[in-house]
Amino acid sequence: MSKKPNNNITTTWVDGELRLVGTLDSRMIGLLRAIDQSGSINQAAKQTGLSYKGAWQMIERANNLAPKVLIATVTGGSKGGGTCLTVAGQSLLQLFTRLELQHRQFLQQLNQSLSDDPDMQMLLKRQVIKTTATNQLFGIVTAIQTGEVTAEVSIELKGGEQVVASITLTELKLLGLGTGSDVLLLINDPEIIVVTDLGNHPLSARNCLPGTVIRVQYDGVDSEVVINLPSGDSLVATISQVSALALGLIPGIPAYAVFKSNAVILGVI
C-alpha cells in the first residue's frame, strides 16, 4: 500500500535555540534531564557528551545562580549515594519542557508563514543553494533560440547585464525554461578569462561582462581574481599568477570577465 505524499511539510527557514537567562540553555537542561533519569552525575555527563568535571562545573554554576538549589547529592548510604533534582530543579525542568513545546510551535508558525509567502520563499531559497561552482548568479530568461540539437538561452542579470548560455534541447525541456523564467547560473572559476583591454580584437567567447577588480589573491602558482559587476554581483576567476602579474591586476582597475556560452550551467529553483 503506497503512502500519500505529505503536502504539509514546511521547510525550515527560521531556527533557533531556546535559552533562558544566564546558563539555562538546552545543554544545561539536557544535563538536568539526564541526572533525573540516571541519578548519576557520571552517567549524565556521558549521555550529554560532557566530561565529569565539566558536568560538575555546570551544576555548581547553576546552583550558585539559582535562587534555590536545583541539584542535590547524597554520599554514602546503602545504595552508595547519588544525585537527584530538588523540587526547584524538577519545577525548572517542567517549565523548560513546556517552553520547548511553545518554542517549537512558534518556529513552525514562522516557517509556515514564510513558506506561504512566494516572494520571501524565492529570496530565502537563493540563500540555501549549495553547489561546487564558485560563481552563482541569478537572472531572468529573456529569449530562447533553438537549433536542431542545442538552444541558446539569453539571460538578464539583476543589473541588466546579458549572459548567453548554450544547453541541449533535452536540458531545455527538462528545466522547463521559457521567457520570464528565473534561473540560477553556475560558472566555474577556471572557465573565466580576465581581460583588461579588448582593443579591436574580436572574441570567440559569447559573454564579456565589464567590471572592476576588487581583490587579487596569489597562492604561488595561481591567482584568484574577483571582479565586481555594475549590478553588485561578483565573479571569481582563477588564472595563473604569471598572467595576473602580466595584466597588472590590482584592486580598482577595470577588467572584463570573459567566458563561453557552454561554460554556463543553468539551474531552476
**Mean pLDDT taken over the chain:** 82
Residue 190 has a pLDDT of 92
Residue 53 has a pLDDT of 86
Confidence of residue 1 (pLDDT cuts 50, 70, 90): very low
Residue 131 has a pLDDT of 55
CATH 2.40.50.100 intervals, the chain: 135-267
Q: Which residue has the higher pLDDT, 162 or 129?
A: 162
Residue 163 has a pLDDT of 95
Contact yes or no for 31/50 (Cβ under 8 A): yes
Residue 233 has a pLDDT of 87
Residue 236 has a pLDDT of 92
Residue 120 has a pLDDT of 59
Residue range 135-267 forms a domain whose CATH class is mainly beta
Give the mean pLDDT of 179-203: 87
**Candidate ranges 105-114, 185-194, 198-207; pick with highest mean pLDDT:** 185-194
Cα 179 from chain centre: 29
Residue 2 has a pLDDT of 42
Q: Is the pLDDT of residue 229 over 70?
A: yes
Residue 25 has a pLDDT of 78
Per-residue pLDDT reduced to its tens digit, 91-125: 888 888 888 888 888 888 877 776 676 665 555 55
- The span from the CA of 153 to the CA of 182, in Å, is 12
Q: Which three cell numbers stand for residue 22?
A: 544566564
Give the mean pLDDT of 69-88: 70
- Locate the DSSP E strands across the chain: 71-75, 81-85, 135-146, 150-157, 162-168, 182-187, 193-195, 207-218, 222-228, 234-240, 254-259, 265-267
Per-residue pLDDT reduced to its tens digit, 241-256: 999 999 999 999 999 9
- The span from the CA of 157 to the CA of 266, in Å, is 13
DSSP 54-86: HHHHHHHHHHHHSSS--EEEEESTTTTEEEEE-
Per-residue pLDDT reduced to its tens digit, 15-43: 777 766 666 778 888 898 999 998 888 89
Confidence of residue 77 (pLDDT cuts 50, 70, 90): very low
Question: Domain 26-115 belongs to what topology?
Answer: Arc Repressor Mutant, subunit A (1.10.10)
Q: Which three cell numbers stand for residue 18?
A: 531556546
- The span from the CA of 111 to the CA of 12, in Å, is 6
CATH 1.10.10.10 intervals, the chain: 26-115
